[in-house]
Structure 1
Amino acid sequence: MRLRMGLVAAWVLVSGPAMAEAAKPVEPLDLYRLEQPLDPQLSPDGRTVLVLRQTRDIQTDRVMTELWLVPVPGSGAGDQRRLLVGADRAPSGARWSPDGSSIAFVGKDGSKAQIFLFSVKDGIARPMTALKQAPSSLSWSPDGKKLAFVSLVEAKPDDLYKLPEKPEGANWAAPARVVRTFPYRTDPDGWLTPGDNQVFTLDVATGALTQITEGPGDWGAEDDAPSWSPDGTVVLVSGNPAPDAHLKPLQTDIYAWPAAGGGKPRQVTNADGFENSPTLSPDGKTLAYVGWANKKVSFQRPDMFVASFSATSPAVAARNLTAKLDRPVSQISWAKDGKGLSFLYQDVGISRVGFAPLAGALSVMTPEVGNTRLLLPSSGGSYSTDGIKIVYPSVEPDRPAALALWTQGKETLLWDMNAAWRAGKTIGKLEEIWTPSSADGRKIHGWILYPPNFDPNKKYPLALDIHGGPHSDYGPMFSITHHLYAAAGYVTLFTNPRGSIGYGEEFANLINLCYPCQDHDDLMSSVDAVVARGFIDTNRLYIGGGSGGGVLSSWAIGKTNRFAAASVKRPVINWTSEALASDIGAVVGSYWFAKMPWEEPEKYWARSPLSLVGNVRTPTLLITGENDFRTPMGETEQYFQALQLQGVESAMVRLPEAGHGFGRPSQWLAAILSTISWYDGHVKVDGAQAK
């Protein structure tokens, strides 16, 4: 593992010194051959890692998962083995019991997701629930006798109308949906069943269920599991019981509910902002949580707070432990001695595990935690630690995620599940670059991925790929999308323009109320810097990106005709329709703009790529899932029709049943390969668009 300081440009060699003659470039079907370790969990005794092995099945075109146990070297924990939990269970969210004898996980029981309990000794998995709605966010009680989890409780059927009784054998249409609030459909879940998330407990001995939260509040979430007090009497969870909570998606507080059920909650935090991920210290006296104060800006940096806690009064004197870090924080976990907490944070294109003592300076526990997305090189990932050992996915530019152990300042790969695949591949180099922006001289971080066997004396096409978010990032990690571009002969450029995370809150909010804006200048400056090196064919410059990258790529071709072609994926084209038709309308109208679209329509239009479509001459490919509710298909349709009406060469790729993330593996390949084909088919002639 190399400690990437991210301060100077550096070459990172990602191909072996002497690849075998049979080595091949990355190819499309490799997407089905690659595997990933997800959600690693150290056992309570620290001897074994529970990990989710993710694969992609070429026959069913589905993502598959298995649970595996991987021993820590020298622990005497036995052999690596797959847990036989039953075919097609699709396990997820697996968690060790406090004594390590059992593993709870969510898996399929027929067509529905249920909670299962796996006995480590007997090797048997048994279903524990028969829920109507899927459970998530499993959390063991300290004594191991109960599991807390989140599941939807459906609202009563709407009584707006009642049809007359249909005749026997009649085949009437499906019932109409009556919608009374929003969002009523979300990505990737689709149409929402009316109701609220509630927290339940499951008695693992008897199977008895107890609902401990009630009423509106949408208690808990997939990334915000309920948290127990050390004595097991209280469950902490975030929520917002206000009647207008749907209008304030970034407003939550932490509540303490009696674990026995039937009681009333006590509100623990009461700030204007977002508080979640509550966790109590081992002695139960200190509450830690992740949150931010509501500044009404587009990027709100999540920090880690601690406050004194008692069973009878609100938490007081919250103290920000990570304010000076100036990086977004998540996945907080108490040290066993209660003297501090570990956490994950994004930093200049990568993720790290840090440690924050209750008194003293922050420290870095690992130099890097790899992402597990495979498709795009965004930072992220997950980790588990016992205070001495840390397990996590480790990623390099030439290597998809491997399960790794960090201890005593050293990384050990526990399971490099793609080693054989990598040995048969020839992969290009990755170079880190920093480029002054023409807007204001700020240094913009980026990377150049070169084709295999790159020759600087030749001319190559350049593909600029822009990340989404916009408050997200790219980093020096393996991405099959970019390696397929490189294998097709493209020099691939990806950067973190202003608005990206991991460079401080001020940098992220340079696009507040100004997106798109000077982020466009950042991107063009990076392109200029690569072109200036002399190995780029300026008649073959290409631009593309997805989601927020779709916004910026469509904006760019309205600002310049320098690109031979564009691939605009799942974009926002019209901010008014995005605010009024997407599942994030409340965020758009409350944080990305100062007012609603009917109050300041001119500002929505001024920042919409559709406002510049009259300038576009660049041949444009559009790619969007037909079930995308984040940047709905209507955005793509507006842009396509506008391009067609003014005679700009354009094509629209519609992915059936796909959401914002494109879903199935073949749909990702369709997006990648159609982009490469579109680029291949468009070359400028002496700087002019080819007819």
Structure 2
Amino acid sequence: MKNQSERPLTAEDLRHITIHSDPQFTSDGNAYAFVSTKATNENDYTSQLFIHSLKHNQPKQWTFNKAKNSHPRFSPDGKWLVFQSDRSGTPQLWLLNTEGGEARQLTSFKHGALSPVFSKDGRMIIFSAPLEKEDDVTEQHEQTEDERQKERDEQNKQPFVVKHLKYKSDASGFLDCKHTQIVQYDLESNTFNQLTFADTDHSFEDISPDGNFILFSANLNENSDYELTSDLHLLNLTTKEITTLTNGEGQYGNARYSPDGAKVACFGHEFAYQGATLNELYVFDTTTGNRSCLSTEWDFQLGDAMIGDTRMGHSENGPVWNKDSTYLYFLGSDNGATGLYQTDLNGKLNALYKDNNHVFGFSKHHDIFILGISTPTDPGNFYQLSMNGNPKQLTDANRELLESVHLSEPESLTFKAEDNWEIKGWLLRPYGFEENKKYPLILEVHGGPHAMYGQTFFHELQLLAAKGYAVLYTNPRGSHGYGQHFVDACREDYGGKDNSDLMRGVDYALETYDFIDQERLGVTGGSYGGFMTNWIVSHTDRFKAAVTQRCISNWLSFYGVSDIGYFFTKWELGKNLLEDPSALWDFSPLKYAENIETPLLIVHGEKDYRCPIEQSEQLFVTLKHMKKEVEFVRFPDANHELSRNGKPEMRIARLNHITRWFDEYL
């Protein structure tokens, strides 16, 4: 535990946290590039590219403008770095000579260009671009800010005509006629060639080692508007023929060619447990299409399922091949931590690195890895790991901040559920902790529900501890990290044993820690955690204050207003709206609103399309009409991701409202 003379963490410290992501080895393995993101004084974020030689202590900054620079990828010969930047106003591709000089803009696409990668021979760059059906990639023009504003003004004068079921997205807002297509850029001739044309979004996955095939994921079916499946496809660049590797019954992604070109590895599943289905690791033979599943005997989530509020930017999850096409490397989420794993093609699993922390990304060169690692007291740094070795720290981001503030080390706890299932969790002691003093406790409930609290830095949790609260956070049934049966166990039982798990956790904390004041208990959570907060305070009066964030209160309306409601309701509750509206009403906290006596703060973003703000409006009006103790804080221009990547001022204001409410009532 840190020295108590250090000051407590504040909400405003969010502005001073540097977030590293996306490590990428150079082609010779002597250095790596990465992205570093932090808040600006203009209420936004800037992301800069750094290069770090493994022979030197300090990374070298390569971009300096007030822009979001990201997705650095090296050419095979190491002479060039292509990256994505919005410095011109729209995300475009830029090319930088690694020996020095200014970056050169490659694309001027009207709606931007994204996620570039080099072909294996370095002659081509493959990227994604949002395009309308009639767009010509050879005649693209990047709009000025005045032109963009004029177009927005014109659009605002016209009605928005909706013809599709999938017409909005929390990430993208209302969806228009653009679709993500895959485009090829020839460096020598300076020409563009559109590779995909179907009326759907395409996700580039990889290019074959011989450069003859593009691997991409998409739903190419006529009924794609009604389906959530995503298949893997091979596009022959010579014949333009598309071959589908998968069977149309699942979701597949993170796909990679083996270096010998004979196989494709990917994550995927076929909805055996709907949205609670664990990823599998599949390998496809590119000649026969035969599929093998390497993860049949494993029982944990592949990839990174960790919940946090200080992770920005993409980072590799895997699977990644070794140079001999005999092993695969990937991240896995297990028991509140994520680690780096290795498997051979028979499914023999080996944990290369697994500790009580959060591996959020990696890059591999031969037998050397760059790992991005976060801990509960460190937002994240990069480490070098050799096979069978120990990680060596390479960066020291946030050193000045971390030396000046006190952060609480979590204490792990395990308790029994009502049916004797083991439930895991953690407790943070409050800042300035004194043995003979009583402290209020706040229960935090994560969203998802199929996600995982764990050993990562979480600013909100640390802030509550800094404000003098003991903080309890657990992984009740429905969480990742404890196997398929566990993550599936809350479906069709929302507010049942998941709620019981949470209450048992509070009981255990009260029995174990005599410094917790049982008369001063608070509860908060967002999304599913907001639903659970609403459910808890409508079914018990043991909590003296509650904050519900981006919540669900009424499943009847959620079905039609959420961007995922039309399938998520069925997935999680077992019923669609017209199948059994009374069952959905029984699952709705709004039904029990008259029972709420706990002072409730409702926090919501006005552009949240995942859990739309009408969910909070219904709850607020109902409680206020009954003259209950309730307050409603609305955040303009904020979506479901407010707490994780919303505007810095809004994120800080949100945290200040949460702590104000608990300070007032606890």
TM-score over 0.5 for the pair: yes
1:610 aligned partner: 590
Q: Which residue of 2 is the match for residue 682 of structure 1?
A: 665
Distance 1:421 1:171, change over 3 A: closer
- Pairwise CA distance, 1:226: 2.7
Tell me how far 1:678 sits from its aligned partner.
0.7
1:535 corresponds to 2:515: yes
Counterpart residue identity of residue 106, structure 1? Q
Which residue number corresponds to residue 90 of structure 2? 112
**Secondary structure of the structure 2 residue equivalent to 1:642:** helix
Corresponding position: 1:273 with 2:250: yes
- What CA deviation, in whole Å up to 9, does each residue of 1:167-201 have, x standing for no partner? xxx99961221111132221122222223221111
Amino acid at match of 2:510: V
Kept after mapping to 2: 8 A contact 1:369/1:393: no
* Offset at residue 387 of structure 1 (A): 4.0
Contact 2:257 2:264 in 1 (8 A): yes
Q: 1:208 Cα deviation (Å)? A: 1.2
Tell me if 1:525 matches 2:504: yes
Q: Which amino acid aligns with 1:655?
A: F
Report the equivalent of 1:226.
205
Q: Check if 1:60 corresponds to 2:42.
A: yes
Q: For residues 253-332 of structure 1, what are the structure 2 equivalents within 5 Å?
A: 253-260=231-238, 263-310=240-287, 315-316=289-290, 318-330=291-303, 331-332=318-319
**Cα distance in 2 between the residues matched to 1:286 and 1:333:** 12
- Of Structure 1 and Structure 2, the greater helix share is in 2
In the alignment, what sits opposite 1:121?
Answer: 99
Q: Is 2:471 the counterpart of 1:488?
A: no
* Mapped pair 1:191 → 2:171: no
Contact 1:90–1:107 at 8 Å: present in 2 too? Answer: yes
Q: CA deviation at 1:268?
A: 1.5
Structure 2 CA distance, aligned partners of 1:192 and 1:280?
A: 32
Matches within 5 A, 1:538-577: 538-577=518-557
Asked if the contact 1:348/1:503 (under 8 Å) is kept, the reply is yes
Q: Residues 361-389 of structure 1, C-alpha deviation per residue, up to 9 Å, x if partnerless?
A: 21111124955xxxxxxxx6211112422
Alignment of 1:597-636 (within 5 A): 597-636=577-616
After TM superposition, list the pairs within 5 Å mapping 1:15-94 onto structure 2. 15-16=2-3, 21=5, 23-57=6-40, 59-73=41-55, 80-84=59-63, 87-94=65-72
Residue from 157, 177, 180 that aligns with 2:160: 177
Task: Using the TM superposition, name which of 514-523 and 401-410 deviates more.
Answer: 401-410
- Bigger CA drift: 659-668 or 616-625? 659-668
The question of whether the paired residues in 1 share the 8 Å contact of 2:46 and 2:67 is answered with no
CA–CA separation in structure 1 for the residues paired with 2:444 and 2:573: 26
2:58–2:395: 8 Å Cα contact kept in structure 1? no
The residue type paired with residue 459 of structure 1 is K
Which shows bigger deviation, 575-584 or 271-280?
271-280
Q: Can you list the C-alpha shifts for 1:562-598, whole angstroms capped at 9, x where unaligned?
A: 0001000000111122121111124314422434211
Quick one: which amino acid aligns to residue 348 of structure 1?
A: N
Q: For 1:100, which of 56, 71, 78 is the aligned residue?
A: 78
| Alpha carbons 2:255, 2:265 under 8 Å: kept | yes
Task: Show the counterpart of 1:374.
Answer: none
Quick one: distance in 2 between partners of 1:590 and 1:199? 33
2:218 — aligned with what?
A: 239
SS of equivalent residue, structure 1 residue 674: helix
Return the letter of the residue paired with 1:353. L
Aligned to 2:483: 504
What's the TM-score once normalised by structure 2's chain length? 0.91
1:133 aligns with 2:91: no
C-alpha contact 1:15 1:398 (8 A) present in aligned 2: no
8 Å CA contact 1:544, 1:569 repeated in 2: yes
Report the TM-score, using the length of structure 1 for normalisation: 0.88
- Alpha carbons of 1:654 and 1:105: their partners in 2 closer, same or farther (altered >3 Å)? same
SS at match of 2:8: coil
Counterpart-to-counterpart distance in 2, 1:56 and 1:385: 29
Shift of 1:427: 2.6
* 1:254–1:428 CA distance, 2 compared to 1 (3 A): closer
- What is the alpha-carbon root mean square deviation over aligned residues? 2.0
CA drift at 1:155: 4.2
Deviation (angstroms), 1:263:
1.6
State whether residues 59 and 395 of structure 2, in contact with CA within 8 Å, keep that contact through their aligned partners in structure 1.
no
Letter of the 2:476 counterpart: P
- Counting aligned pairs with the same residue, the percent is 28
Residue 301 of structure 1 aligns to a residue in which SS? coil
Instruction: Tell me which amino acid in the other structure corresponds to 1:45.
Output: D
Equivalence for 1:443: 422
The one-letter code of the counterpart of 2:468 is: G
Deviation at 1:30, TM superposition (A): 1.2
User: Amino acid of the residue matched to residue 149 of structure 1?
Assistant: F
Per-residue deviation, 1:134: 2.5
Q: How does 1:441-480 map to 2 (within 5 A)?
A: 441-480=420-459
Q: Distance in 2 between matches of 1:247 and 1:537?
A: 51
Count matched residues: 630
**Alpha carbons of 1:370 and 1:140: their partners in 2 closer, same or farther (altered >3 Å)?**
farther
The one of 137, 152, 164 equivalent to 2:130 is 152
1:671 alignment partner, SS class: helix
State whether residues 428 and 472 of structure 2, in contact with CA within 8 Å, keep that contact through their aligned partners in structure 1: yes
Q: In the alignment, what sits opposite 1:686? A: none
| Structure 2 residue 524 is matched with structure 1 residue 580 | no
Is the contact made by 1:432 and 1:448 (CA closer than 8 Å) also made in structure 2?
yes
Match of 1:340, as an amino acid?
Y
Q: Distance in 2 between matches of 1:590 and 1:233?
A: 42
Residue type of the alignment partner of 1:629: Y
- Listed one character per residue, the Cα deviations across residues 522-560 of structure 1 (whole Å, up to 9, x for unaligned) are 101111111122211122100000111101111111110
Superposed CA offset, 1:629-685 (max 9, x none): 1101111101111111222110011011011111112212222111111111114xx
Instruction: Give ranges in structure 2 of 5+ residues lacking alignment.
Output: 136-152, 304-317
1:80 Cα deviation after fit: 2.6
SS at match of 2:276: coil
2:351 aligned residue: 364
The answer to whether the 8 Å contact 1:369/1:395 transfers is no
Alpha-carbon distance, 1:470 to partner: 0.6
CA distance in 1, matches of 2:353, 2:76: 25
